[in-house]
Amino acid sequence: MTAAPSPRCYRITELTTEQLRARLPEALQIYVTAMNYPPATAQQRAPMWSAHMLRAGWRCIGAFSDRDELIGIGYGYLGAPGQWWHEQVRRGLLSSGGDADSWLDDYFELTELHVHPGSQGGGLGEEILRRLLSGAQGGKVLLSTPEGPTRAWKLYRRVGFADVLRNYRFTGDPRPFAVLGRPLPLEAV
């Protein structure tokens, strides 16, 4: 018996909060699968993703298969003091001697970017990233990603992300992360 072919990307589109809420279980399943997290992580993250949708500058891009299945998701919003990630990165930059004021002023936080593993490797992640950032507010974009050689690392380096903070451990996660950033807008390809 041969495996069914991976669904191909049919369309990439901006999603409203209502559209993402309707597809939140699918989006969280992509997140859990792509990050190799335990299935219960989806239930834990759902309230957080819902709260993120209410933040200033929030925008989301979804990629759909020819069967109308969500196969890729990316979203972010304007980072600001008082937000958990902002405060974690600020603490890390201050303790490492980094320039917290420069990086954490006027930035778009690329919060999530995930492509289902069966659809990875064909440029879909980069297309989602470029579309998401093409309309993003802010003078720069910041993100965090686990340390290590991954497709995500190759993508971020390819589009010009530089090190902001390396080997940082966020509260509640023992893995080392990198915080990467770059000015906006991205160059056209």
Q: Which two tokens stand for residue 170?
A: 């966020």
For 178, residues 6+ apart whose C-beta sits below 8 A from its C-beta are 144, 145, 146, 147, 163, 164, 165, 166, 167, 168
Number of domains in the chain: 1
Q: How far out from the chain centre does Cα 57 lie?
A: 15
Distance CA 189, CA 185 (A): 12
| Structure confidence at residue 189 (pLDDT) | 62
Give the other-Cβ count within 10 Å of 87's Cβ.
Answer: 13
pLDDT per residue as tens digits for the range 88-132:
999 999 999 989 999 999 999 999 999 999 999 999 999 999 999
Kindly state whether residue 55 falls inside one of the protein's structural domains: yes
| Structure confidence at residue 1 (pLDDT) | 46
- Residue pair 83/136 in contact by the 8 Å Cβ criterion: no
> Would you tell me the crossing angle of helices 41-52 and 24-35 to the nearest 10 degrees?
120
| Structure confidence at residue 107 (pLDDT) | 98
| Structure confidence at residue 7 (pLDDT) | 62
135 is in which domain, residue-wise? 9-183
CATH number of residue 151's parent domain: 3.40.630.30
Residue bearing tokens 């915080």: 179
Q: How far out from the chain centre does Cα 79 lie?
A: 13
Q: What angle do CA 99, 100, 102 make, to 5 degrees?
A: 70
Kindly state whether residue 28 falls inside one of the protein's structural domains: yes
Kindly state whether residue 188 falls inside one of the protein's structural domains: no
Kindly state whether residue 189 falls inside one of the protein's structural domains: no
Dihedral of CA atoms 51, 52, 58, 60 in degrees, nearest 10, equals -110
| Structure confidence at residue 187 (pLDDT) | 83
Kindly state whether residue 130 falls inside one of the protein's structural domains: yes
| Structure confidence at residue 47 (pLDDT) | 97
| Structure confidence at residue 2 (pLDDT) | 43
The catalytic residue positions are 156
Per-residue pLDDT 10s for the chain (189 aa) are: 444 445 676 899 999 999 999 999 999 999 999 998 999 999 999 999 999 999 999 999 999 999 999 999 999 999 999 999 999 999 999 999 989 999 999 999 999 999 999 999 999 999 999 999 998 999 999 999 999 889 999 999 999 999 999 999 999 888 999 999 999 999 876
| Structure confidence at residue 6 (pLDDT) | 58
Kindly state whether residue 3 falls inside one of the protein's structural domains: no
Kindly state whether residue 136 falls inside one of the protein's structural domains: yes
Question: Which among 131, 132, 134, 180 has a CA at the least distance from the CA of 158?
Answer: 180
The pTM (predicted TM-score) of the whole model is: 0.93
Kindly state whether residue 44 falls inside one of the protein's structural domains: yes
